[in-house]
Amino acid sequence: MGHRHAWTAAPVAAERARSVLAAAWSCSVTARDGREEFTGAHSVAADGRVLLCPPAGSALPTAALCAPRGEPSVVLEFADVAPVPVRSRIRARLWLAGEVEPEGDQLALRPTRIALRRANGVVVVDLDEYASAEPDPLVAAEARLLTHLADAHPDAVQRLTRLVDPGSLHGAVRVQPLAVDRHGLTLRIERARDHGDVRLPFPEPADTVPQLAERMHALLAQAARTCPRALLRQRTDGDR
């Protein structure tokens, strides 16, 4: 499988947006007549159009048909929730605005404006980049992979903290895996009063689960060559 983008240390905004869409099961729909919650009612076409199957009684079909042409008639909001229990579990929010038009027995939204909010702020996603982007290849397996790492291999998570700058670990009370994608692993470092995230980039991308296992083993091998930095000691130092 060829790489769709040049490798970087983190996903570009368009790829991240497509990944949020691919993983989300529900969304909020805001139209002129109000706000509704849809569950299991959307899919995404290859070009990025969002296909909606409104539930019975939804006001969306009427609101979409009555909206003035050329004006965004609907805003969809998606939340990206961390699969592992951590503080502030919403990792990102994605908004897509545009007109909704009938397409067979569904409604199709072709975005005219896309915004992605992550911990480092809000970015407007380029529409052409979004249309040509694909979700991260690990998105369907991410929840299973992260929960397995957190539940079955907490020792491995602690070993990976050897790769984290000591200043980021000062006062840490817990470290959990927050996210993983083809570009790297993100750890959530929780302290008594706040938290922060640290990204551990892979030496090369992982497009399959077996490749991800290889990249994780490479990170652990790198950690093994690093001077031990026990999390317990960081907790003790932080509590003084």
pLDDT band at 234 (very low <50, low <70, confident <90, very high): very low
Residue 197 has pLDDT above 80, yes or no: yes
**Residues 107-156: pLDDT tens digits?**
999 999 999 999 889 999 999 999 999 999 999 999 999 999 999 999 99
**Residues 166-196: pLDDT tens digits?**
999 999 999 999 999 999 999 999 999 999 9
Tell me the domains of the chain and their CATH numbers: 13-132 (2.30.110.10), 142-238 (3.20.180.10)
pTM: 0.88
pLDDT band at 239 (very low <50, low <70, confident <90, very high): very low
What's the whole-number mean pLDDT along residues 209-233?
83
Quick one: which H or E segment has residue 51? strand 50-52
Neighbours of 156 (CB within 10 A): 16
Q: How does strand 184-191 pair with strand 172-181?
A: antiparallel
**Residues 39-78: pLDDT tens digits?**
999 999 999 999 999 999 898 988 777 767 666 689 999 9
The DSSP annotation for 157-198 comes to HHHHGGGS-HHHHTTEEEEEEEEEETTEEEEEEEESS-EEEE
pLDDT band at 8 (very low <50, low <70, confident <90, very high): low
